[in-house]
Structure 1
Amino acid sequence: MRRFFKRRAAPQSAADAHADGNITLITDVRGDVTVVSGTLPAQAGAPDTESACAAYATRVRQRYGRLLSRFGGEVYGFVHRAFLEYLTATDLAHRFHQQRELTEEDLQDLFATKVHDPAWHEILLLLVGLLDERFVAGVLDRLLAPRTPAPPLRNGDRAFGTLAFVARCLAEVRRPGQLAAQSEALVRGVIRLFELSRVLGEDVWYRDGQVLDLGRNLAALGEAWPGRRIYLDWYEEWGAQPPERSGTIRERDAGYQAADIWLRLLAASPAPSSLFVEPLRREATGNADPVVRAAAVLLHEKVAPGPSPLLLHCAAEDPDPAVRRSLLGAVVARAENAAEVQGFLVARSRHEEHPDVREAVLHELRGLAGDSPEARQALLRAGVAEPLASLTARIDDATEARALLRDALGDEDPERRAEAVEVLATGATGVDEQEILALLKERIERDASAEVVARAFAALPHLAHDVTELGRLALHHARHDERAEVREAAVTHVADSRPPLPEARELLLDRWQHDPEARVRAEALVILADRGRTDPEIAALVVEQVRRGGDRSARSMALETLGGALRADPATRGLVRELAVQDADPGFRAAMLFHAMVNDSADETAAEFVGVRVVDDPDPAVRASALSLLGFSTPLSLARDRATHDEDPKVRLTALRVLCDRGRDDPLTLDLLRAAAQDVSPDVRDLAARLLAILDRPSGP
């Protein structure tokens, strides 16, 4: 019977991590019946395969019912995926150690092919714990070995994912001291990717859970493992030279992740403890790097035993506004103590001097204004009116709500009038619909603010109204209003009117061809393109206009809107590629290359086409854009060719970045970088020297 479960588990584990990966059909056990049928009692009358199979199924249900759950009919599955994972791991270990069915190379191949498949992670980690360290060393050497092409940093979860999984494997071995070489190679690989991410500008990405836990998994290895000191010493130097920041500190930044690992390794403690908390407090208030201070505070918030004043203190007192702003979100997330959060925001509304942080504080207070008198008072002191939506929601008297909205519609501040229009459109004010229509019509006809009139037009489709009357009003403004924002909103209203206005098509064609403002022409063209998805005649008109030229953004959006209609029509299927080659506007050609890569991604020749433009387009900005678009699809030979032979330094710079991302483990890359270090362009020479300093070091075990 044990053989039954192991054989059932192994094929199931190859499935994805969903219910179907945990199902066994009892009627599929025929292959096992011949192996174990000798242990089954003789079947009276017909000892055939069917009866043996039925008896086998009965035995499984009787003896192992606690491991199986019946899903209906003769369909069974393990009651928990952990049984599936454990049995698969033990089966693999048995086939390697005892049966010798698997070789060391087979094990290494298994890990290499499944390292990015989350459904296999627990199985592989269990298997690591069942293997001797010398075999685990071979597996980790394979995972850490140079790869060409390498996973790109632009998709950082995959580039760091292998290293993160190696860290988890090291935590599973019984004698990690025997894997010192692999530990050091792991840390040097992590360091290398962080350094590359900064130089290549690929320092923001979406990371999966195991990468976000990299610091915790490394800290779990304790103080004695060889890689700890290497990383701590490296970060002391690297973190002292932080790159220029955009004013925001994000947890998905590479710099933040590097700081998180360093902080966790300071104490090398995987669990919350006073040994870990104290260094975090020290770094949160004393480190010179703002990223480290923010990371220390947020990490302290996760591991400290209970609420701590450190977060509130640093969110108010840190000298860097980017730190204060990033910590503000963590303060607001303390939902279990609403009074504390409110008190903090009220205090910061009085004392915060940096305009960006102050605006963020006031934004949070606006969200509290409906339920908090203190928040409303703080907004008033700051010269900020309470949001009308929360104000009207607190008024039960419909007459008072109407009076309040009328006052707001007459306010001298156009933003307050525009806000009143949006509140009216929700219909949640106690004002009846006919009165709302009258108020909106009044704003359209009399208001001097283009924003207010535009918002009034945008509010009309939410209401049941006389399409003819208001449609005529919108038609007039779309043609004759002097304000482009109003004409644009009126064009959109006419196009969205239901039932459709007879004049809508004529208006769209007129505004597309004759409006003096590009934004209005673009809006009309995109609306026409949307209709062209079902109207071939309009689609042909849009295609004709796109070929003629005009506003780059509008033409690109029109083609994107037409989308599938273009690809379905043989006459226009090649339009995007035609424009990518022949259009006079280099920026539009680059946009068409993007369409070719994204919208025609199912076409295997799309990448090949873009690759040709990398070489043949006469404009260097288009060639560089094409290289960036190819990204991880760029053939290394093409990147090497452009880095060496393109006449424009911007293209050579882009090619170097692509090459040193995907080809960072290729020996040919080092030769090319040494040549680029002598380039006539100082920018190319500088980038080549910085990349050489990173890549001309051993990376594997």
Structure 2
Amino acid sequence: RNFVLCFVGAEYYAFVHRTFLEYFCAREFIWQFEKEQKISKNELIEDIFGNHWQDETWHEVLRLIAGMIDAKFVGEIISYLMEQEGEEEKFMNLFLAGKCLFEVRSRQGICDVESRLLNELKIVIEYNPDYYEVYEYDWEVQEEGVRQVATFWKDDPDTLPFLKQLARHDNDLVVQLEALRQIATGWKDDPDTLPLLKQLVRSDDIDVQLEAVRQLAIGWKHQPEIFELLKQLAQSYDSYDVRREVIQLLATAWKDNPQTFELLKQWVESDENWEVQTEVVRQIATAWKDNPQTFELLKQWVESDEDSYVRREAVRQIATGWKDEPGIFELLKQWVESDDSDVRREAVRQIATGWKDEPGIFELLKQWVESDEDSYVRREAVRQIATGWKNESGILELLKQSVVSDEHPIVRSEAVRQIATGWKNESGILELLKQSVVSDEHPIVRSEAVRQIATGWKNESGILELLKQSVVSDEHPIVRSEAVRQIATGWKNESGILELLKQSVVSDENSDVRLEAVRQIATGWKNESGILELLKQSVVSDENSDVRLEAVRQIATGWKNEEGIFELFYHIALNDPFQRKYDFQDNPRQTALEAIVKHYPDHPQTLPLLQDRAENDPDEKLREWAKKKLQRLEN
């Protein structure tokens, strides 16, 4: 009846649930190993574990095997797994070893293996990818390392201090957050855990603050002091992300507290950030929908709140939460006629999506497309009519008219996008888009037309020439960058493309275009002769720091083993002319230094260079990074 055992025909029954299949598979291997002796110890290690540790679907079977055999033999299996090269497999060998260790009932006989595995996992946890690796690195590897140490060594007296150290001081945010989570869930009753979380709530890092707040709300919800703490945080935090998170937690975990509703109403008026304000509106509308005050509050915010985001969110909540209430449709139509552009736009969207089948909606949308004085309302009407009424007569002509004659570029670009995606196979569409590429006066429209033509009409005659013309002669960098991107990805194997991109790298007057060309050449033509020299030229001589940094990053990724690269990076780390104007900027000197530390750690000049930059680089952020790196190396 519960399908644990199923009839499969010919008087045969089978266990089809995966859990049973995994168990019986493991049991069969053990039977062949221990009873029938068809499998030797080496065969079990090398053939069963060796051939399958890289396949995660086998891990449960392998864990079960580890739980059925002698602890010392499991120690040999773990040693074997640790010897495997697992970096390319995201250290799956070590994580499987940890899972196998967890299956051992008594670890006394394999303490040495256990200790070595713990050290290996700590090395994985403490690995810190540098700038140019960040985009490729899988952060879940470090998270899993922290989870395994916290779970499989929970009874080890050194584990909690280790996790506390990570939670307080680790330079790697991913590790810090996972350590915090593990402490809050695994050591909830430890007397130091609550004080630690309260301390981390005041951390300098927003993500740490957020995670500490979440854990407090989850694990200590019933303590009155936590509600008071969150109230205080919602009012005093500088970070709007944290305030917004606190509001979500208060609205869900403390919904029944009579203070919460009143507090949220106050914060709509008093918080200075629109994201926080709209979150409050959203929470009130959903969590207190049945409160008689809520609907009137939302109407009041639509009609009189000073913040446009609050007004739009209130419209959205009324339209979705009170859709079936009498008078809502008429209320939205009334708001479409208001003087408030933001309210009108949102009302149009809600009417088109929520009342699509009502009589007259189609005609209303057409009217808004053709004659509404507000460009944002016209754009919204274009989007809604193109997606919701695509098969109605006259829609394509209406959109064509918007492409050709609407006075605002956001409306024309939206019409271009909708026509290109919804009416691709209609006669004359390509010619209309070509006309936009060549003659529209605004770069937003031209770049959208370039994108749509390149992706939708790639195989049509003359498209490549049109895009080349945009790369060479369009007056705006937005259009040239888009054309470079589309040509490099869609016509990589065509003759002359590389030369065209090289020309953009060397001679385009705009840094965004040069950067895009550098990126496309380095990733698409890595093995072509002369590419490295071109990138070196950009590293040394481009006047824009973002272009130089991108060239450094691409060389570090694709040419790190080439002769002379260390010397190039050494020169950049010392001499790149970058001067910081804004905190968010990335420094080419630091990127080059990171590449040196990562790829040439044993070079005799690496450590002296790092020490010199820690003391003498004019960029404070680079000096701080270098000092932290030195501390890690010393430890």
The TM-score, its normalising length taken from structure 2, stands at 0.72
Amino acid at match of 2:607: L
The structural deviation recorded for 1:387 is 1.7
Which structure would you say has the larger RCO, counting Cα contacts within 8 Å and 6 or more residues apart?
1
Select the residue among 115, 122, 126 that pairs with 2:64. Answer: 126
Aligned counterparts of 1:424 and 1:96: Cα–Cα separation in 2: 69
Partner of residue 238 from structure 1, selected from 169, 174, 190:
169
User: Does the aligned pair in 2 maintain the 1:215–1:264 contact within 8 Å?
Assistant: no
Amino acid at match of 1:79: V
In the alignment, does 2:16 pair up with 1:79?
A: yes
Match of 1:325 in 2: 244
The alpha-carbon deviation at position 514 of structure 1 amounts to: 3.5
Q: Structure 1 residue aligned with 2:414, among 473, 489, 506?
A: 489
After superposition, the C-alpha distances for 1:154-174 in whole angstroms (9 at most, x for unaligned) are xxx936x66654543442233
- 3-state DSSP of counterpart to 1:533: coil
> Residue 167 of structure 2 contacts residue 176 of structure 2 at CA under 8 Å; is this kept in 1?
no
Letter in structure 1 aligned against 2:591:
T
Alignment pair present for 1:348 and 2:276: no
- Say if 2:481 and 2:512, in contact at 8 Å, map to a contact too: no
On the 8 A contact 2:505/2:514 being kept in 1, the answer is yes
Equivalent of residue 426 in structure 1, options 327, 332, 353: 353
Q: Residue by residue, what CA displacement relative to the aligned partner does 1:203-239 show, whole Å, maximum 9, x if unpaired?
A: 898665994594476245343454444444x347616
The match for 1:359 among 248, 267, 278 is 278
Q: Alpha-carbon deviations, 1:661-699, whole Å to 9, x = none?
A: 6x5xx86278733443235745566544422322444xx
> Which amino acid is the alignment partner of residue 424 of structure 1?
I
Q: Is this contact kept in 1: 2:505–2:515, CA < 8 A?
A: no
Q: Which digits, 9 at most, give the CA deviation of each residue in 1:339-393, with x for residues without a partner?
A: 6499845632324635243332223335568766443344356535532573487
Partner of 2:107: 176
Shift of 1:414: 0.4
The amino acid of 2:341's aligned partner reads: P
Give the Å deviation of 1:533: 2.0
SS of the aligned residue for 2:612 comes to coil
Partner of 2:580: none
1:566 aligns with 2:482: no
- Shift, 1:415, TM fit: 0.5
| Mapped contact 2:402–2:411 kept (Cα < 8 A) | no
d(CA) in 2 for partners of 1:75, 1:578: 68
The partner residue of 2:335 within 408, 422, 426 is 408
Matched, 1:516 2:431: no
Residue 546 (1) aligns with residue 478 (2): no
- What corresponds to 1:249 in structure 2? none
Q: Which whole-Å deviations, capped at 9, do the CAs of 1:4-39 have from their partners, x for residues lacking one? A: xxxxxxxxxxxxxxxxxxxxxxxxxxxxxxxxxxxx
Matches within 5 A, 1:234-273: 234-235=165-166, 238=169, 253-263=174-184, 267=187
Counterpart of 1:387 (choices 315, 337, 359) is 315
Q: What is the CA-CA distance between 1:325 and the residue it aligns to?
A: 2.7
Please give the alpha-carbon distance, in whole angstroms, between the structure 1 residues aligned to 2:5 and 2:623: 64
* 1:354 to 1:115, Cα distance in 2 relative to 1, 3 A: farther
Q: Give the match for residue 676 of structure 1.
A: 610
Provide the secondary structure at the position in 1 that maps to 2:334.
Answer: helix
Structure 2 counterpart of 1:466, which letter?
G
Confirm whether residue 654 of structure 1 aligns to residue 582 of structure 2: no
Q: Is the 8 A contact 2:143 2:174 kept in 1?
A: no
Q: Name 2:153's counterpart in structure 1.
A: 221
Please state if 1:275 is matched with 2:189.
yes
Unaligned runs of 5+ in 2: 577-586
Q: How does 1:411-490 map to 2 (within 5 A)?
A: 411-426=338-353, 428=355, 431-432=358-359, 435-461=360-386, 462-463=388-389, 464-467=392-395, 470-471=398-399, 473-478=401-406, 481=407, 483-490=408-415
The residue number in structure 2 matching 1:117 is 55
Distance 1:529 1:323 in 2: 42
**How has the CA–CA distance of structure 1 residues 625 and 169 changed in structure 2, closer, same or farther, with 3 Å as cutoff?**
farther
Structure 1 stretch displaced more, 688-697 or 634-643 = 634-643
CA distance in 2 between counterparts of 1:170 and 1:182 reads 9
SS of structure 2 residue aligned to 1:275: coil
- Measure how far apart 1:132 and its partner are: 5.2
Distance 2:242 2:337 in 1: 40
Distance 2:459 2:294 in 1: 51
**CA contact 1:311–1:327 (8 Å) conserved in 2:** no
Give the distance between the partners of 1:132 and 1:294, measured in 2 at CA. 45
Q: Could you tell me how far 1:655 is from its partner in structure 2?
A: 3.9
1:101-147 CA deviation, whole Å, 9 max, x = no partner? 4549x848976775553213223333444555555556555666797
**What CA RMSD, in Å, does the superposition of the two structures yield over aligned residues?**
5.1
Contact 1:316–1:348, Cα closer than 8 Å, also in 2: no
| 8 Å CA contact retained: 2:139, 2:174 | no
Q: Which residue of 1 aligns with 2:584?
A: none
Structure 2 counterpart of 1:676, which letter? L
Task: Please give the residue correspondences for 1:96-111 in structure 2 after superposition, counting only pairs within 5 Å.
Answer: 101-103=40-42, 107=45
Give yes or no for contact 2:444–2:478 (8 Å, CA) kept in 1: no
Residues 440 and 613 (structure 1), Cα distance of their counterparts in 2 relative to 1, 3 Å cut? same
Q: Alpha-carbon deviation of 1:200? A: 5.5
Distance of aligned partners of 1:467 and 1:314 in 2 relative to their CA distance in 1, 3 Å threshold: same
Q: Secondary structure at the match of 2:602?
A: helix
**Alpha-carbon distance change, 494 to 607 in structure 1, aligned in 2, over 3 angstroms:** same
Distance between the aligned counterparts of 1:103 and 1:555, measured in 2?
62
Distance across 2 between alignment mates of 1:228 and 1:607: 53
Q: How many residues align?
A: 587
Tell whether the 8 Å contact from 2:569 to 2:593 is kept in structure 1 after alignment: yes
Q: Which amino acid aligns with 1:121?
A: H
Output the CA distance in 2 between the equivalents of 1:692 and 1:109.
43
Deviation at 1:307, TM superposition (A): 7.0
| Residues 597-612 of structure 1 aligned to structure 2 (within 5 Å) | none
Greater Cα radius of gyration, structure 1 or 2: 1
AA aligned opposite 1:360 = E
Quickly say closer, same or farther: Cα 1:225–1:522, change in 2 above 3 A: same
Paired amino acid for 2:271 = E
Residues 465-520 of structure 1: per-residue CA shift (max 9 Å, x gap):
42476357425524xx2x33234334446656759887755553343233332212
Unaligned runs of 5+ in 1: 1-65, 152-156, 244-251, 268-273
Tell me if structure 2 keeps the 8 A contact 1:293–1:323.
Answer: yes
Distance in 2 (alpha carbons) for counterparts of 1:637 and 1:74: 67
1:643 to 1:401, Cα distance in 2 relative to 1, 3 A: same
TM-score (norm 1): 0.66
User: Paired residue for 1:55?
Assistant: none
